[in-house]
A and B are shown apart, each in its own frame.
Chain A
Amino acid sequence: MNGGIIHLYNEPRIISSACVVGNEEHIGPLGDLFDGYSSDPRFGMKTWESAESEMQRRAFLYALKKGSVKCEDISAVFAGDLQNQCVASTYGLLPYNAPYIGLYGACSTLAEGLVLSSMLIDSKKLCTVAVSASSHFCAAERQFRFPLEYGSQRPPTAQRTVTAAGTFILSQSGADIRICDVLIGRICDSGISDISNMGAAMAPAAADTLCRYFAQSQKRPSDFDLILTGDLGYEGIKILKDLCFAKGLDLSGNLNDCGLLIYSASEQDVHAGGSGCGCSAAVMSGYIMKRLKDKTLKNILLMCTGAMMSPTSLLQGQSIPSIAHLVHIRG
Chain B
Amino acid sequence: MNKENYKKYVSMRAEKSPVFKNCLFAFLIGGAICSFSQLLCDLYVLLGIPNDAASILVSVTLIFIAGLLTGIGTFDKIAKVGGAGTLVPITGFANAVVSPAIDNKAEGFVLGLGSKMFIIAGPVLVYGTVASAIYGVFYYFWGGAFSL
Residues of A within 8 A of B87 (CB): 151-152
The 8 A CB mask of B61-92 against A (1 = contact, 0 = none) is 00000000011010110111011001100001
On whether the beta carbons of A149 and B14 are closer than 8 Å, the reply is: no
Place the interface of chain A in its size category: 20 to 34
Residue of B1, B6, B7, B13 near A238 (CB, 8 A) is B13
On whether the beta carbons of B13 and A142 are closer than 8 Å, the reply is: no
Residue of A46, A151, A155, A235 near B92 (CB, 8 A) is A151
Residue of B4, B7, B16, B103 near A149 (CB, 8 A) is B103
**How long is the Cα–Cα vector from A171 to B108 in the complex, in angstroms?**
44
Residues of B within 8 A of A29 (CB): none
The 8 A CB mask of A160-177 against B (1 = contact, 0 = none) is 000000000000000000
On whether the beta carbons of B95 and A151 are closer than 8 Å, the reply is: yes
Q: A153-B17, A235-B15 are contacts. A147–B100 as well, Cβ < 8 Å?
A: yes
**How long is the Cα–Cα vector from A151 to B85 in the complex, in angstroms?**
11
- Interface residues in B1-37 by Cβ distance below 8 A to A read 1, 3-4, 6-7, 10, 13-17, 22
Binds B, one of A52-60, A189-197, A214-222, A260-268: A189-197
Q: A191-B7, A200-B10 are contacts. A150–B95 as well, Cβ < 8 Å?
A: yes
Interface of B is mostly: helix
The chain B residue sitting closest to A142, CB to CB, is: B103
Residues of B within 8 A of A142 (CB): 103
The chain B residue sitting closest to A150, CB to CB, is: B99
A44 an interface residue at 8 Å Cβ cutoff?
Answer: no
Q: A146-B120, A204-B6 are contacts. A151–B103 as well, Cβ < 8 Å?
A: no
On whether the beta carbons of A157 and B120 are closer than 8 Å, the reply is: no
**How long is the Cα–Cα vector from A189 to B22 in the complex, in angstroms?**
33
Total chain B interface residues with beta-carbon distance under 8 A: 36
B54 an interface residue at 8 Å Cβ cutoff?
Answer: no
Residues of B within 8 A of A156 (CB): 14-17
- Interface residues in A182-241 by Cβ distance below 8 A to B read 189-192, 197, 200, 204, 235, 238-239
A148 an interface residue at 8 Å Cβ cutoff?
Answer: yes
Residue of A153, A191, A204 near B83 (CB, 8 A) is A153
The chain A residue sitting closest to B76, CB to CB, is: A151
**How long is the Cα–Cα vector from A150 to B91 in the complex, in angstroms?**
11
**How long is the Cα–Cα vector from A16 to B69 in the complex, in angstroms?**
45
On whether the beta carbons of A149 and B76 are closer than 8 Å, the reply is: yes
Q: A47-B106, A192-B7, A204-B6 are contacts. A149–B98 as well, Cβ < 8 Å?
A: yes
In the complex, how many angstroms separate the beta carbon of B90 from the nearest chain A beta carbon? 13
Given contacts A146-B120, A150-B99, 15 further A-B contacts (CB under 8 A): A147-B103, A148-B102, A148-B103, A149-B76, A149-B99, A150-B76, A151-B75, A153-B83, A156-B14, A200-B10, A204-B6, A235-B13, A235-B14, A239-B10, A246-B1
Pairs A-B, 4 closest by C-beta atoms: A151-B79, A191-B3, A147-B99, A149-B99
- 28 A-B pairs within 8 Å (CB atoms) are namely A147-B99, A147-B104, A147-B120, A148-B76, A148-B99, A149-B71, A149-B73, A149-B76, A149-B98, A150-B95, A150-B96, A151-B79, A151-B87, A151-B92, A155-B16, A155-B17, A157-B15, A190-B3, A190-B7, A191-B3, A191-B4, A197-B14, A200-B10, A235-B13, A235-B15, A239-B10, A239-B13, A243-B1
